[in-house]
Structure 1
Amino acid sequence: MARKLKTYQTSLGFFDLAIAAPSMKAALEAWGADSNLFHQGAANETDDPDVIAATMAKPGVVLRRPVGSDGPFSEHAELPTNLGDGKPAKAARKSKGSKAKKPSSRPVDKAAERKAALDYEREERRRELERAREETARQKERERRQQAVDKAQAAFDKAEQEHAKRAASIQAEVEAIERRSQAEETRWDKEKARLEASLRRARG
């Protein structure tokens, strides 16, 4: 059974945010908040009938408006134009906050509530599918990068082994030449001694 939705509101960065969700936890997840804004007093459930109507028309969708303004919430809001006027924005937010606490005089429409809850679940499934698609794409990219790394590593290892083989072969040749050189020196020393002795006898 679809859970009843409530409308939650907060301010993050340059925007006021609102969403129709079944719980504070769901609202925080949709906002992408990394801390509990409700415990910090930075978010609350709102009774503002205009905000509720806007969020119930698009349950599960994060709606925005420029921070501190009284304008309507929408999916794509413009940046606030009064960023330099901190006091008016704060005053506007305060007046809006006091207005939001007034209970709604609209009659409860059970059919609309059920439809909003079902719409929310559809939006939640859409978001989950989108997250799954993004995770699949990220996984494929990780695998592609890993394959490229493995290929480069294999080429490096092969080249390193080839180098080690060639270096060992050259070293063996150097050692063989060194042995031949030493053998030649030994042979020459003996030959030289014999010839010198022969030369001395001839002179003698």
Structure 2
Amino acid sequence: MGNRAEEDYNFVFKVVLIGESGVGKTNLLSRFTRNEFKQDSRTTIGVEFSTRTVTLGTAAIKAQIWDTAGLERYRAITSAYYRGAVGALLVFDLTKHQTYAVAERWLKELYDHAEATIVVMLVGNKSDLQQAREVPTEEARMFAENNGLLFLETSALDSTNVELAFQMVLKEILTKVSKQRQSSSRTNAITLGGAQAGQEQGPGEKRACCISL
């Protein structure tokens, strides 16, 4: 096989993290991609991203997870941030109801800038702080169901459901790509939400979906 470590994936999926500042987006990112948690993590400035390759069935998926500040002054980067994304995690802090109350606003912004086919999961983070909970699980679950979203509660601190959250989103994206691929079997490129998505690699070449920045 030779040294093909860098080419050893079939798809690249861009997934964005959205939600208010302080809900734990950066620690979800670092927990999933590097298995790290920083108790005193600072507010994200602008945009950053990390990658991790995971195997789903027979497909190797390179997940490119983007994290942005939830602060108003960084909103100018919005369009570029969402471009090419095929998945999103809308994160709120389940100990701060205000971060959940604005979920609808974040959804509107997402759908204003991303494609309608994007896979979205509502994530209630900080489930390790049950004694300080302000958002009932069933209330958030109902909101997710009414808006066609996946839903999960996580803890970046103790790792609860972090792996599962990203895996569920990536699996749903792969399912959409696979269905489109089957219906477009006569072409090499598959279009998912207007971005070239799910181009399968040939020997010695890398093709990626959803990298528009």
Q: Scaled by the length of structure 2, what TM-score is found? A: 0.24
Q: Which has the larger radius of gyration?
A: 1
- Larger % of strand: which? 2
- Larger % of helix: which? 1
Q: More relative contact order in 1 or in 2 (CA 8 Å, sep 6+)?
A: 2
